[in-house]
A and B are shown apart, each in its own frame.
Chain A
Amino acid sequence: MTDTTSTTASDAPPRRQTLQLVSRYGTLGAFLLLLVFNIVVTPNFLALQTLYVNLTQVAPIVIVAIGMTLVIATGGIDLSVGSLMAISGALAPMIFMGKIFPIDSVGPSIALAFILPVLVVMVFGWFNGFLVTKFRIQPIVATLVLFIAGRGIAQVATNGNLQVFKSPEFQYIGLGRIFGVPAQVVLMIVVAILAAALIRYTVVGRQIIAVGGNEKAARLAGIPVHRVKQLVYVISGGLAGIAGLIVIARNAASDANLVGLGMELDAIAAVAVGGTLLTGGKANIFGTIVGAFVIQLMQYTLLANGVPDAAARVVKAALIILAVFIQQRANKA
């Protein structure tokens, strides 16, 4: 939330003041309400197991959504994240199972299985950024190309087959614990802290916001707009790649048809519910995380209380509309 809204708050009519309050604390409030509701109603909600289930479910979404927040902050959008997850998820097992090139020792092959897939999808992310900046193609169209082709690439690479594996070293990223906390949750926290620091304390972070706020002004101010935009797509691609590794490690299997399916929508929804306007110029990392948690917890609440998954989707849709509506009303000048 910027300072301008807080100064206008005092002059604004009471109804908008309420809306601004709801907008600022609504998502957090919804999160707390859901927590209280579950503690009272849902059996076994306070078990550590439940916490870990929810955290591990939400971790890949948060990681992807943070990349999406940076892209959206520049006024763009990245539809390709789900497909990029499928690509990195398809590549990793092929590497540590020696299908691409044989590696004898476990250590290097696992290390390569972590690094290479992420690097590959970062190149794809760079390609997205290249289309957006050099050819001036709208982000939604530019990333549509890899949305369509990316999953195909993963399917062609694996011939559409399910890759089943058992590799405790690799699966550490999805199943391991660091001081009792799931490794992917630690990873999520690290990514979140790095992204928040990037936005708050670095020049690049301010440049990202400036580009999304007013591209022309940013260019005139000497900001390397193209380089900044390319960077956010590379970051988004890389984070999608990491999320792909987590998902397949957790499942002990990689299915190019399913890994990351619909992830772009989950990520965009988390960003929207978290209060980052899709027009750019803002990046609320904390909001995105809370947004993802609200969506996850809401889904868990419904499922744990016997509401079918299909109905949960309808509720999720209504939640997204409501959240965006409130934020829009509150931010109206």
Chain B
Amino acid sequence: MLTFLGPFAPKSNGDLARLGVLLALAALIIFGALRYDNFLSQYNILSFLRYNSMFALIALGMAFVIMTGGIDLSVGGVAAMSSVVAAMLSTHSWWAGLAGGVGAGLAVGLMNGLIITKMRIQPFIATLAAMLAAYGTALLLANNQSVSVSYDTGFTEIGQGDFLGFPIPGWIAIVVYIFGWILLERHAFGRHVLAIGDGEATATLMGLKVDRTLLLVYLISGGLAGLAGVILASQFGAGQPTEGVGWELFAIASVVVGGTLLTGGSGSVGATLAGALLLAMVFNILNFENGLGWISLSAYWQSVIRGLFLLVVVILQARLVKPT
């Protein structure tokens, strides 16, 4: 199949799925560029990146977790909790808010990792409980309301500011994705992650430090969810203890759309980014359609279309990527 692509022909099922997501992303961008005047305008591109960077961050953490064969359902709750912590600390200084938010995420990640590796509880259950606990803590800290951030300490710059004419959240995502790519492709850690996803028992027999790698993976996911929470608080101007509902599923969808199998053992940083951008792009295009009055879909259609989109992708994956 697809041999006409010559040297560019995908060599494995994973390659095939990744090629698919890139093609789909390219197709959507070309569609948008041809259909709307302002689609490729600087304003649209930059605000698209500004408001979707936090989802891309969460998707990357989720990708690492899923590559080990695990799952992290707590990311939405962590983002909510971190946004509250960051908002509360933002009155001291912008970096206190940033450090506090990321620190809160790391703390939950550490707890997830310890429960999964030491107590041997399935990631699904461990992170589900962590999600409950994170939302509970967020509401407790915030006293059941949103918490205003300080506008005096420059904290809002993290989410709303620019650096060299490019949104700061976009910079953050770029740097984090480069780190993620290095970790996965150019570092032993990445091979350990994939080896564990392929077969934990084998990885243990090979002498890999399985528990330490798993702990790190959940730390990464928690930390990135915390970072996303900081950006959220900074963009909203408030810590949001009830935000983030469904983010974990958006992140899982991005990873799945990016061709990473939920069974672990394979995955790509670039394809995860493409998956997250692809899901976000669907909404950007819907917004244009609505804005131009060519269609009028209520916001409620978004989740229906998001679900349909996920459906198409998983069916295509199931058809193309036959289990060997």
Contacts and interface: CB of A to CB of B under 8 A. Distances in A.
Whether both chains belong to one complex is answered with yes
Interface of A: 77, 79, 131, 135-138, 140-142, 144-153, 155-156, 159-160, 261, 265, 268-269, 272, 278, 308-314, 316-318, 320-321, 324-325, 328
Interface in B122-157: 122, 124-126, 128-133, 135-140, 144
Contact of B121 (A135, A265, A269, A325): A325
Nearest to B312: A145
A41 B172 CA distance: 52
A160 B298 contact: yes
Interface in B70-100: 71
A152 to B, nearest CB: 3
B293 interface: no
Contacts of B115: 321
Given A152-B303, A312-B136, A324-B121, A159 B314 contact: no
B140 A149 contact: no
B252 interface: yes
Contacts of A79: 249
B222 to A, nearest CB: 15
A267 to B, nearest CB: 11
B239 to A, nearest CB: 14
Q: Which residue among A149, A153, A311, A316 has the maximum number of chain B CB atoms within 10 Å of its CB? A: A149
Nearest to A158: B300
A309 B135 CA distance: 11
28 contacts: A131-B315, A137-B314, A144-B253, A145-B314, A146-B307, A148-B249, A148-B303, A149-B303, A149-B310, A151-B303, A152-B301, A155-B300, A156-B298, A156-B300, A160-B298, A160-B299, A278-B124, A308-B139, A308-B144, A310-B136, A310-B137, A310-B140, A313-B133, A316-B136, A320-B128, A321-B125, A324-B121, A324-B122
A137 B318 contact: yes
A146 B310 CA distance: 10
A269 B130 CA distance: 12
A76 B233 CA distance: 37
A324 B115 CA distance: 11
Nearest to B311: A145
A325 B132 contact: no
Contacts of B125: 268, 272, 278, 320-321, 324
Contacts, number: 136
Contacts of A137: 314-315, 318
A310 B132 CA distance: 9
B323 interface: yes
A224 to B, nearest CB: 21
Contacts of B306: 148-149, 152
A135 B132 contact: no
A178 B119 CA distance: 46
Nearest to B140: A310
Contacts of B71: 140
B49 interface: no
B256 interface: yes
B263 interface: yes
Contacts of A149: 303-304, 306-308, 310-311
A314 B136 contact: yes
B132 A141 contact: no
Given A138-B262, A148-B310, A316-B132, A155 B140 contact: no
Given A148-B310, A314-B133, A328-B121, A141 B262 contact: yes
B199 interface: no
Contacts of A312: 136
A145 B301 CA distance: 14
Listed from nearest, the 7 A-B pairs whose CB atoms lie closest are A149-B307, A313-B136, A152-B303, A310-B139, A155-B300, A152-B304, A317-B133
B44 interface: no
Contacts of B119: 321, 325, 328
Nearest to A77: B124
A310 B144 contact: yes
A293 B303 CA distance: 33
Contacts of A150: 307
Nearest to B119: A325
B318 A135 contact: yes
Nearest to B316: A135
Most chain A CB atoms below 10 A, which of B133, B253, B256:
B133
Contacts of A318: 129, 133
Nearest to A146: B307
B38 interface: no
Nearest to A142: B314
Contacts of B11: none
A184 to B, nearest CB: 25
Given A131-B311, A152-B306, A324-B122, 16 more contacts: A79-B249, A135-B319, A147-B249, A153-B304, A155-B300, A155-B303, A160-B299, A261-B245, A265-B131, A278-B122, A310-B137, A310-B139, A316-B136, A320-B128, A324-B125, A328-B119
